[in-house]
A and B are shown apart, each in its own frame.
Chain A
Amino acid sequence: MTTLHQLGVAEATQALHSGQISSVELTQACLQRIEQCESELHTFITLIPERALELAEAADKKLIHLRRSGDSVPPLLGLPIAIKDVLCLAGVRCTCGSKILENFIPPFNATAVQKLLDAGVVPLGKTNTDEFAMGSSTENSAYGPTHNPWDTSRVPGGSSGGSAAAVAASMTPCALGSDTGGSVRQPASFCGVTGLKPTYGRVSRYGLVAYGSSLDCVGCLARSAQDVEILFHLMAGYDELDATTLEEPIPQAVCVDDVSLKGLKLGIPREYFVSGVQPSVEQAVRRAITELGNLGAEVCEINLPHTHYALPVYYIISPSEASANLARYDGIRYGPREANKSLRELYFETRGKRFGAEVKRRIMLGTYALSAGYYDAYYGQAQKVRTLIKRDFDKAFEKVDAIAAPVAPTTAFKLDEHCDDPLAMYLEDVFTLPANLAGVPGLAFPVGLDEQQLPIGMQLMAAPFREDVVLKMAHAYQQVSQWHILKPPLGEEGNKR
């Protein structure tokens, strides 16, 4: 039997609208579930239970009023949500997983957050993240790591690891994340949930704390493609506060009954099925591809010949952009201040003491790649190879509607496994980086469990602004499979295995 806190977005909003459940009941159920599991998982940096319950009460009053008057109900009125701690929620501290923002209270909402608040959501708190979203395991958080609900000795992936673990553990029906190089998709894969990285420019980045500005995307995580689609449609669209958003119309909902994949072509890139991929991951992804074929999609092999270069290109471009974006943390306008004798000392000490190791490493890397004498060899060359990677995708999408691949080469790894070797950690992102470099949408969703009962994720990518294609395919798959319904063995409510 599904208990209240396990309801998905579509089910919960329907039950709220019809008056079967109240927002206070649902919010309390989520808060209780959080209380039950949080000491094991550590998914939140900041919890706001009082504020959530106040909002839930207000939502219930409004729901009763609107039901009586017959006026239209905001689509997510009363629905709990978790927000990654790199997106600003006015009045609630936003740490970005960093000690340099440990007391930063944003006076405004991120546009994506504002749009969902307008739709009626009830934020439960701010979820854990690698510091400034730099990492693939959520171990780089200055507030301690998040644990994977499927096996608490393992990482949840990252950087949106808190959001993914919270959704997987049914602490919240849905969560917001951000994806610069895979930070929504990889944790979604490791935790067995569905996560969307939209097209670059589709969702406003206003109020998303900047990491790599030509790559950053606001995304969302939930327990089905249908639930992800609901959130995505409400967040998407042009925003005059973000000049990189585009006016592209938002497509019709495609996660509906009787969905057919007839007429859709699915490309399988050879470069993503190489040695180094865990055999059970490859097998599960290939089985899911066969299933998509059974559902009507036409499957063919394709080539993305420059895939191999995505990793070095990404790890030059993103630290370069980060080194510029993080120059603003200087101890003057926000955050704590270290040393106060001279301005120079203030800068050096505040940044040196308050940034964590990975952030410093990337600032150093980016500063070097942009410095006089090295700019052309590193940053300039990386931008040119980025053009080649993007062209690979442009060419592929002339032939196919979507591309299928593993999300990551492996399932969730152990805590501390990659901590001493940054390059080994970077290699975890090898299959998710290309979508960010090309700006195309990517969706991760569960397609199996490995030998150790850890979730395996598949990734679908489509041409810019064709999120509808990947959502439709994942939804069709979820109509005939059960992987997205499985719950981790946590707090005595896992699946009997």
Chain B
Amino acid sequence: MSLTPQQVDHIAELARLSLTPQEKEQFREQLSSILDYFAQLQQVDTSSIAPTSSVLPPRSRLREDVPREGLSHQQAMSNAPQVEKGQYRVPPIFEP
């Protein structure tokens, strides 16, 4: 199968990636040939097979809910590119 330029735009939009026109064309070609290669999976009969999302036995583990030390506020914020009054500073979320 061959991806269309519109599909590539849509995927990049979902993934929040700005791509150059060259990147878009390159990814369109490469992803198309990779997806062609993946088509062989469609031949496998899996109608009675359950999916494996983890190789581990399913279980849930609980522990006592007791407060304890974690990272300090300062440590947690220490890598942020912009901080104001101890909070992450971001540009406007709602665009006019």
Interface residues of A (CB under 8 A from B): 103-105, 107-108, 200-201, 214, 240, 243-244, 246, 306, 308-309, 312-313, 315-316, 323, 327, 330-337, 340-349, 351-353, 355, 357, 360-361, 363-365, 367-368, 371, 377-378, 380-388, 390, 422-423, 426, 438-439, 464
Contacts and interface: CB of A to CB of B under 8 A. Distances in A.
A105 B77 CA distance: 11
Interface of B: 7-8, 10-12, 14-19, 23, 27, 30-31, 33-35, 37-38, 40-42, 44, 46, 49-56, 61, 63, 71, 75-76, 78-82, 88, 90-93, 95
Contacts of A386: 51-52
Contacts of A306: 44
Nearest to A370: B14
B50 A312 contact: no
Given A364-B27, A384-B49, A105 B38 contact: no
A363 B93 CA distance: 24
Given A312-B41, A381-B46, A385-B44, A361 B90 contact: no
Contacts of A345: 91
B38 A360 contact: no
B55 A384 contact: no
A180 B10 CA distance: 28
A243 B10 CA distance: 35
A360 B17 contact: yes
Contacts of A383: 51-53
A346 B95 CA distance: 13
A343 B44 contact: no
B6 to A, nearest CB: 13
A349 to B, nearest CB: 6
Contacts of A336: 81
A323 B12 CA distance: 11
B9 to A, nearest CB: 11
A388 B47 CA distance: 12
Nearest to B8: A364
A272 B44 CA distance: 20
A385 B55 contact: no
Contacts of B91: 340-343, 345-346
A385 B34 contact: no
